[in-house]
């Protein structure tokens, strides 16, 4: 008997695999990557499907439900820190670089210190966002 998550997993995986395959084929046809890059990209797609299937199986079928809740909370904190905080840092650095504000702060704080201070602030904000999302999901699953 197939697990409950199996159908949804394969639908999402197929859609994402097709999207990334189209991106790689388009990049190859436009000359952005060579045949080795196309081959490497296709191998990454299949490798990612295998790794996510294994992780999904372990997460849904092997780990007990109490530990799943703790792991979800930890993963949301990591997602908030790395995903949201990292995106926020890249967006702010690009904005500050394009607007010229970065140069003003570099003369005051020094060249490497401004991006590092901003990185710490963005990662902290991302961690708080991940924690907030985790609490909201915990409240939604209780009711």
**Burial (CB count within 10 angstroms: exposed 0-12, middle 13-18, buried 19+), residue 2:** exposed
pTM, to two decimals: 0.56
- Which parts of the chain have pLDDT scores under 70? 105-111, 138-143
What pLDDT score was predicted for residue 3? 82
Q: What kind and span of H or E run contains 139?
A: helix 113-142
Token pair belonging to 45: 């797609």
What pLDDT score was predicted for residue 19? 94
Measured at the alpha carbon of residue 140, what is the angle toward residues 138 and 142, in degrees to the nearest 5? 70
Rounded distance between C-alpha atoms, residue 52 and residue 21, angstroms = 17
Q: Which residues of 32-50 are buried (b: 16+ CB within 10 A; e: fewer)?
A: ebeeeebeebeeebeeebe
pLDDT digits (tens, 9 = 90+) for 51-66: 989 988 888 888 887 8
What pLDDT score was predicted for residue 110? 66
Q: Give CA torsion, residues 82, 44, 23, 95, to 10 deg.
A: 20
HSE of 32, CA atoms in CB hemisphere, 13 A:
7
What pLDDT score was predicted for residue 139? 66
Token pair belonging to 26: 């388009």
What pLDDT score was predicted for residue 128? 92
What pLDDT score was predicted for residue 14? 94
What pLDDT score was predicted for residue 20? 93
């Amino acid at each position: 008997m197939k697990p409950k998550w199996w159908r949804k997993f394969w639908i999402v995986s197929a859609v994402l695999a097709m999207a990334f395959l189209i991106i790689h084929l388009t990049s190859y046809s436009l000359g952005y990557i060579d045949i080795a890059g196309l081959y490497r990209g296709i191998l990454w797609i299949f490798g990612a499907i295998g790794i996510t299937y294994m992780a999904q199986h372990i997460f849904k079928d092997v780990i007990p439900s109490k530990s799943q809740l703790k792991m979800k909370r930890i993963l949301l904190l990591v997602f908030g820190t790395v995903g949201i905080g990292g995106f926020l840092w890249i967006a702010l650095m690009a904005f500050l670089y394009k607007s010229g504000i970065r140069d003003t702060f570099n003369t005051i704080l020094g060249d490497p210190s401004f991006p590092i201070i901003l990185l710490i602030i963005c990662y902290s904000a991302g961690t708080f966002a991940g924690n907030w999302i985790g609490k909201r999901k915990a409240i939604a699953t209780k009711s």
